[in-house]
Structure 1
């Protein structure tokens, strides 16, 4: 009982700390944007940096503009955790004004280690424990001239496409209230989509930068392991390396994404973190006619009308631009989903649970996951048999049969299955001779709050590429239309498997009207430069057919 009251006091104190830090900023950051500040917020990163480098702009003025808009984003979406403006002001006075990111305010996911600030991970026990070190990623950004100025919200275990935790609460989608901006890097998605910032850094282990980009209408590339520093940061699932979590940039515009990614690589990140491969930036020249593979359906959860329409627009645009478009069939995506999800949670959630008090409620997605993981194995085997025998649902049966904690031998077996799948995927990719793969990032647009309780298994369109470690970008294409994207009268949810039914319980084109919808473009492993180039090709092709995504809150 005393532990519970202490827990509630910690939550109240941490939330009060955030509000006090915001209140202290009102004199400088609580006033409307000036015309000069509006110009700053409209300026692409490359030009903004150039103006700082040449003395046209001062870093503190850039910080003030970004800070004002960031506080508006916080008021609208609850996207922030640690408020570090005062630290950023000190950095602005001494930052490298000749660096490739000179004077640029950058936000970071809450997991990123910042000396002197918490990384609560949305868990009460980590509150008021400021870190004594700084992650190599942050040091790289500082050396490049950037100003780390805030951290952004996440789900408490990172195992969700929503961003809710007991410490900082729930983040809102800036496009339509009542919907999530995504997860686990959802605070970044909300901040960038609202227009509070232009550049943020997040992680991705099963779509955690790509889903917020898709749900919120921003841009990202999920890099392969070894391109961007990841050491020294925090995680509620520490030690899990069967599917590696990687850091990647998220941005408000495509041109910002390309510039920032190149700037990171030009800083020689292998000199900051031993996990980074010494691969300099490569200039890519694509052939005039590309061969584009399309995965229209992963065979587990069919894309909703809105997501299928966005993919169709991209395919139509590429065809009209003269590129060859073919169907691509990877080795069983259902098998990939089972391997990836079972590896990531092979401890049955125990590592995360050791950090969470019994009276500290999980978010909805994790509630169901932990419940299934805790069931006796014989119960899950019987349940799987029933799905197979009476529901004719082999996908669910296969996923459910061994869901939960694994022995060490079973974990090794899963890693071996991962390697076998990667070999088969590599062969299929090479034999297809495709330059890129186009698919949806998720079966549906943004979920309503607590929607992951039903859609917790709908992660396959992203996790597939984490499993094979391919570079994959997401770009916004259109927005949900209540008429164009309504379910057809012939739609019958009874014909879907258990996980697809869960995903479609959330789908309502009328309520989702106005939410962003993106597409995912996939390249090979360690082909980030090529994927960025391909994203540009898709964007240009879409413009040629009259499809140009409009950002929210353009100043």
Structure 2
């Protein structure tokens, strides 16, 4: 059967990715994990394919890497080669990349090393540090397909503002990572590159839309990556793979000149933020980017310098046990209960937080996403005859809204934002603790609810998703007998405790709008209270 245009493009792009990997970084056939091996995060340590020195570099957190690079005890070329090799392995085992920049990354690293050797000084705060980027960040000479075949083989002619900022700060950009179609699916799958799998368990999703980043980082092939979030696209993949992320409020980090699957949709702001294996690396990135004064580069960035937040040793936290639509699956419910217990033991005040306004917020969010009747997506699929993916059924069948109707939705949003902030202030709480998603992770094709993240996009609140030290168990079962909704009943039916056994569980700490420094500080305080939680409760 003759391949259609989009299928030919997809085959070509996938082949180009593999061909961009140097032969010495193609995993030897005899070392490849068998198809039925679910956890491939062990591959770097157990395969014998990585040297002890390479493993040392991969295991070193970004602040220590930077200390080595800035003193010249490590070279950027060596560090960059190690992360390129690890990224090549990660892609072969999880399908996490969309663009490979190995050659230019190594060339840049050499120039940075030469600069240090010549001047005795590092070139700005990220000197020589490899940083990975989600596919939608434009880099001159490389595609930003955001999962559409019609956008393939059309390399960017300009950089995203954040790309210019990172380069001027001395970073080395070495890969771009896979996303779902239009970045509007909560799993990472598209018709061009296919599906990205979770390196902790390849039967499970790494989430979306920043799932290529979460897979790369949790595999150990990036210390700091950058993703985006419009309905949970940072926090969902971070939670599915057990890493950290910060969802900042709109205006803290530069987001201009990036590609969108819903270009012109500004009713809900897309934001970008860091993803990493440690909270320390999240804070390092956030402070460094803001210290570069991004408001001088991006007209939508707010001129708010970094404001160090002193530790607050007694927090008042409101706990959202469920959002009135979907109960957390048993591992997440158990993790939330144990976290509350640990917080109270540590002397923090914990009170219940009602899900007032949460169903309405999710409804408003989804109506905004679908307001163009799916035309943005349809127009990007049409040139190559690419079909709607089944996960985008809502977009395929959506009806376009008129301007007046859209303005009424804005009024609903504004009212809800005021009411929610009033309730937050009246309760006197510092933060909300809640699930990031109902899942620890979930099998491919079964992620079905973004309510726990999406509400805070509508409110534009700062939030951190963090692994709380609890892992899922095959013995976890539902305690509540009555589902909250038909969707809740479906998620309960889909729940498979055996397949998520051993997966890390993440929770979400949410502060008010533009409280990035505070929510990072509070997350550190919470992590301190959790430090006595065993690896498996």
Question: TM-score higher than 0.5 here?
Answer: yes
> Conserved in 1, the CA contact under 8 Å of 2:223 and 2:277?
yes
Pair 1:475 & 2:462 matched: no
1:68 aligned partner:
85
Matched, 1:178 2:170: no
Change (3 A) 1:327 1:28: closer
Match for residue 427 of structure 1? 422
| Alignment pair present for 1:519 and 2:518 | no
Secondary structure of the corresponding residue to residue 145 of structure 1:
coil
Distance across 2 between alignment mates of 1:204 and 1:541: 28
The Cα shift of 1:271 comes to: 2.0
- How far, CA to CA, are the matches of 1:251 and 1:142 in structure 2? 19
Does residue 287 of the first structure (1) align with residue 305 of the second (2)? no
Give the match for residue 451 of structure 1.
Answer: 446
Closer/same/farther in 2, CA of residues 40 and 425 from structure 1, 3 Å limit: same
CA contact (8 A) 1:183 1:212 kept: yes
Shift of residue 24, structure 1, vs aligned partner: 5.1
Cα 1:547/1:274, change in 2 over 3 Å: farther
Matched, 1:207 2:232: yes
Do 2:357 and 2:416's aligned partners in 1 also have CA atoms closer than 8 Å?
Answer: no
Q: In structure 2, what is the equivalent of residue 534 of structure 1?
A: 522
Listed as ranges, the matches of 1:150-165 within 5 Å are: 150-165=175-190
Does 1:135 find its partner at 2:134? no
Partner residue, 1:54? 71
Indicate how the Cα distance of structure 1 residues 325 and 309 shifts in structure 2: closer, same or farther if over 3 A, else same: same
**What aligned pairs does 1:69-108 form with structure 2 within 5 A after superposition?**
69-95=86-112, 97-108=122-133
Report if aligned partners of 1:542, 1:548 keep a CA contact under 8 Å in 2.
Answer: no
| Residue 39 of structure 2: aligned partner | none
Aligned to 2:51: 34
Aligned pairs for 1:205-284 (under 5 A) are 205-284=230-309
- 2:533 counterpart of 1:546: yes
Aligned pair in 2 of structure 1 residues 440, 266: CA closer, same or farther (>3 Å)?
same
Instruction: Indicate which of 146, 152, 167 corresponds to 1:121.
Output: 146
Aligned length: 509
> Any idea what SS the aligned residue of 2:124 has?
coil
The alignment partner of 1:355 has SS state of: helix
CA contact (8 A) 1:121 1:157 kept: yes
Query: SS of the counterpart of 1:132?
Result: coil
Q: TM-score, normalised by structure 1?
A: 0.88
- The aligned residue for residue 383 of structure 1 is none
Q: Secondary structure at the match of 1:22?
A: coil
In structure 2, distance between residues paired with 1:535 and 1:291: 13
**What are the ranges of 5 or more consecutive residues in structure 1 without an aligned counterpart?**
374-403, 551-555
Residues 208-237 of structure 1 deviation map (CA, whole Å, 9 limit, x = unaligned): 000001101110010000000100010110
Alignment correspondent of 2:388 = 362
- State yes or no: 1:324 paired with 2:349: yes
* Structure 2 unaligned residues grouped into runs of 5+: 32-47, 116-121
Q: Matches of 1:26 and 1:305 in 2, distance apart?
A: 40
Q: Output one character per residue of 1:168-199: Cα deviation in whole Å (capped at 9) or x when no partner.
A: 11001111122110000000011111111111
1:491 counterpart = 2:490 = no
Contact in 2 for aligned 1:486/1:510 (Cα 8 Å): no
Offset of residue 442 of structure 1: 1.0
Inter-partner Cα distance in structure 2 for 1:54 and 1:77: 35
Quickly say closer, same or farther: Cα 1:52–1:348, change in 2 above 3 A. same
1:49 to partner: Cα distance: 0.6
Q: CA deviation at 1:147?
A: 0.5
Query: Which residue does the alignment assign to 2:11?
Result: 12
The match for 1:352 is 377
CA gap of 1:143–1:318, structure 2 versus 1, over 3 A, is: same
CA deviation after TM superposition for structure 1 residue 259, in Å = 1.2
Query: Alpha-carbon deviations, 1:8-42, whole Å to 9, x = none?
Result: 22111111111110145638999933222222112
**Is 1:466–2:457 an aligned residue pair?**
yes
Superposition pairs of residues 395-434 of structure 1, within 5 angstroms: 404-434=399-429
Cα displacement string for residues 45-104 of structure 1 (whole angstroms, at most 9, x for unaligned residues): 111111111111111011011112112211211101100111111211233734221111
Residue-by-residue CA offset, 1:393-433 (whole Å, 9 max, x unaligned) = xxxxxxxxxxx431111111111111111110110111011
Residue pair 2:147, 2:183 contacting (<8 A) in 1 also: no
TM-score by length of structure 2 reads 0.91
Task: Return 32-41 or 174-183, whichever deviates more.
Answer: 32-41
Residue 502 of structure 1: aligned partner? 490
Contact in 2 for aligned 1:188/1:202 (Cα 8 Å): yes
**Secondary structure of the corresponding residue to residue 494 of structure 2:** coil
2:118 aligns with none
Contact kept in structure 1, 2:378 and 2:396, CA below 8 Å = no
Are 1:155 and 1:363, in contact at CA under 8 Å, matched by a contact in 2?
Answer: no
**Structure 1 contact 91–147 (Cα < 8 Å) conserved:** yes
Partner of 2:42: none
Offset, 1:549? 8.6
Instruction: Quote the offset at 1:541 in angstroms.
Output: 0.7
Query: Does the 8 A contact of 1:331 with 1:421 survive in 2?
Result: no
Provide the C-alpha distance between the structure 2 equivalents of 1:295 and 1:409, rounded to a whole number of angstroms: 34
Contact preservation (8 Å) 2:137, 2:258 = yes
Change (3 A) 1:222 1:25: farther
1:43 corresponding residue in structure 2: 60
Asked if 1:442 corresponds to 2:467, the answer is no
Give me the whole-angstrom Cα distance separating, in 2, the residues matched to 1:7 and 1:463. 31
Larger mean CA deviation between 35-44 and 70-79 belongs to 35-44
